[in-house]
Amino acid sequence: MTPLQGCLLVSALLFAIGFAGAVTRRHAILALVGIELMLNAANLNFIAFWRYGAHPEALTGVMFVIFSIAIAAAEAAVGLALIIAIYRHYKTSNLDEVKDLKG
Amino acid sequence: MSPAFIIIIIAFVTLLAAASAMSLRNLVHSALALTITFAGLAALYLNLDAQFVGFAQILVYVGAVAILIVFAILLTRSGDTPNQAVLAPGWTYGIAIAAVVFTMLGWAVLNSSALPKENSSAPAVTVKNIGDALMSKYVLPLEIIGLLLTAAMIGAVIIALKEPSKTDNAGGKS
């Protein structure tokens, strides 16, 4: 197994863990955390392909990860604000109890 | 110790922390494990010769996102260990789909012929190169990211603002 394949396997496992958490956990914050883990797995893929790829001096992988980190930060801020707003309205952050659109 | 061994240890710790972040019952413990995951990923980036990305990961994820998540946990008063089930009703399907996804990805990674040829020499990329590229070739994406972050910040503040109470709507005290 080459180092690139090792990195890709780690990233695949991280993605699977994040996916399982986002789908199975009841709490809204943990669903968001699962999405963050999936984003991080994608970032690891970009860095691995950049490091072991053909043209590392082109900086494409690094740039993609930098912008992806910025977007993930924006997503986390808006997502957690939504969770706080939902908690204020429904007095719960359990995803199964937030069922009606018209409160 | 050889570098490959160190990377394997870091990857193991990262994956273990990620698994416990997704499976612990207490949300505060989950947030702690998540922080370890982010720090482990930053160490992986540093070992893969991406210094700038590694430090950006520490700054943004370990510094900001983890704090944000802890704040959200405490503001929604979900810091206690819950008594009822923490998993959604159809959780077996979720785990099964995740396992299938991992199997498919692993199979594709181990058997693909499309992977690029190995380039084992460390790329000679400095922070100066990244700054130059950000200010020349990638200046438009950089500006758009700035706009997006501003919009997201204002949007987050407005969304999390207190809902106007009934007395306000009735024309009472503001």
Q: Do B109 and A8 touch (CB under 8 A)?
A: yes
Q: Quick check: is B54 in a domain?
A: yes
pLDDT surpasses 80 at B116: no
In a domain, A87, yes or no: yes
Asked whether residue A40 is domain-assigned, the answer is: yes
pLDDT digits (tens, 9 = 90+) for B47-91: 988 889 999 999 999 999 999 999 999 988 877 877 777 787 888
Say which residues have a Cβ less than 8 Å from residue A17's Cβ, sequence separation at least 6.
A37, B15, B18, B19, B22, B98
Mean of all residue pLDDT scores within chain A: 89
Write down the pLDDT at residue A72. Answer: 93
Give a yes or no: residue B95 inside a domain: no
Range in A3-12, A25-34, A67-76, B114-123 with the lowest mean pLDDT: B114-123
| Domain containing residue A93 | 3-97
Q: In the prediction, which pLDDT does A88 show?
A: 87
Kindly state whether residue A19 falls inside one of the protein's structural domains: yes
Question: How many domains, chain A?
Answer: 1
Q: Is B87 helix (H, G, I), strand (E, B) or coil?
A: strand
- Read off the pLDDT of residues A23-49 as tens digits, 9 standing for 90 and up: 998 888 999 999 999 999 999 999 999
CA B151 to chain centre: 20
Could you give the number of structural domains in chain B? 2
* pLDDT tens profile B12-32: 999 999 999 998 888 999 999
Query: B88 CA to chain A: closest CA distance, Å?
Result: 5
Tens of pLDDT, residues B75-87: 888 778 777 777 8
Classify residue B136 by burial, with Cβ atoms within 10 Å: 0-12, 13-18, 19+. Answer: exposed
Determine whether the interchain pair A47/B117 forms a contact, defined as Cβ–Cβ distance below 8 Å: no
- Determine, yes or no, domain membership for B91: no
**Does residue A31 belong to any structural domain of this protein?**
yes
Domain assignment present for A102: no
All residues of chain B having their beta carbon less than 8 Å from the beta carbon of residue A24 are: 87-88, 91, 94-95
CATH number at A39 reads: 1.10.287.3510
User: By percentage, how much of chain B surpasses pLDDT 70?
Assistant: 92
Confidence of residue B119 (pLDDT cuts 50, 70, 90): low
* Predicted local confidence at residue A102, as pLDDT: 66
Answer yes or no: do B75 and B138 share one domain: no
Structure tokens at B162: 């207190």
**pLDDT averaged over chain B?**
87
Tell me what the mean pLDDT of segment A74-86 comes to: 91
Q: Quick check: B52 and A75 CB within 8 A?
A: no
- Of the three residues B49, B80, B111, the one that is the final residue of a domain is B80
**Do residues B33 and B21 make contact, with C-beta atoms less than 8 angstroms apart?**
yes
Reported as a pLDDT band with limits 50, 70 and 90, residue B106 is: very high
Range of the domain at B149: 125-168
Q: Does A76 touch chain B (CB under 8 A)?
A: yes
Chain B: give the shortest CA distance to residue A101, in Å.
16
Cβ contact A43:A68 at 8 Å: yes
Boundary residue ending a domain (B80, B115, B140) = B80
> What pLDDT score was predicted for residue B173?
42
- For residue A103, being part of any structural domain is answered with no
Inter-chain touch A33–B41, beta carbons under 8 Å: no
Domain identity same for B5 and B67: yes
Interface A–B counts its CB contacts (< 8 A) at 237
Angle at A26 between CA A20 and CA A28, to 5 degrees: 95
Q: Which is it for the CA torsion B5, B10, B13, B15, positive or negative?
A: negative
Residue B9 is assigned to a structural domain of this protein: yes
From A76, A88, A95, residue closest to B163, measured CB to CB: A88
Q: Which of B61, B80, B99 is the last residue of a domain?
A: B80
Nearest partner of B61 among A26, A17, A25, A66, judged by Cα: A66
Collapse the DSSP code of A88 into the 3-class scheme (helix H, G, I; strand E, B; otherwise coil) and give the result: helix
Grouping H, G, I as helix, E, B as strand and the rest as coil, residue B99 is: helix
